[in-house]
Amino acid sequence: MVIWKRTLRTSSSERFLGQKDGQDAIAVDLHFLGDGTVAGTVIMLETAGLNEPDIPKLLASLDEDFLPGVDLSSGNLTFTVVTGRLVGNYEACKVEQ
């Protein structure tokens, strides 16, 4: 089971982190477009232990829990799904001159 946590929210986008067995497993960015559709990018970490057959249930879970106005079956919600590995977190820093 994946536990979802919203980590960022703006007026037109959201970011979620999905955890499985207490470990980061999935990152999702959602973009709310002006025409009422939602486009999402899903990154499944290689170490998450999730497989391609798990994707439909995973996306349905996210849809049901956080996207009441759109759904996959009506065509106003789309996802691009990729797998990858976490390289690191990089933050902006002020460079002193």
Separation in Å, CA 94 to CA 20, 47, 91, 97: 35, 33, 10, 10
Q: What is the pLDDT of residues 16-59, one digit of tens each?
A: 999 989 888 999 999 999 999 999 999 999 988 888 888 888 88
Q: Is the pLDDT of residue 11 over 90?
A: yes
Question: What is the structure's pLDDT at 74?
Answer: 82
> Where do the domains of the chain lie?
2-84
Tell me which CATH code domain 2-84 carries: 3.30.300
Lookup: tokens for 55: 């994707």
CB 10 within 8 Å of CB 22: no
Characterize 28-59 residue by residue with b for buried, 16 or more Cβ atoms within 10 angstroms of its Cβ, and e for exposed: bebebeeeeebebebbbbeebebeeeeeeebb
Is the pTM higher than 0.95? The answer reads no
Q: What is the pLDDT of residues 65-97, one digit of tens each?
A: 888 888 777 888 999 999 998 888 788 887 777
Question: What is the structure's pLDDT at 33?
Answer: 93
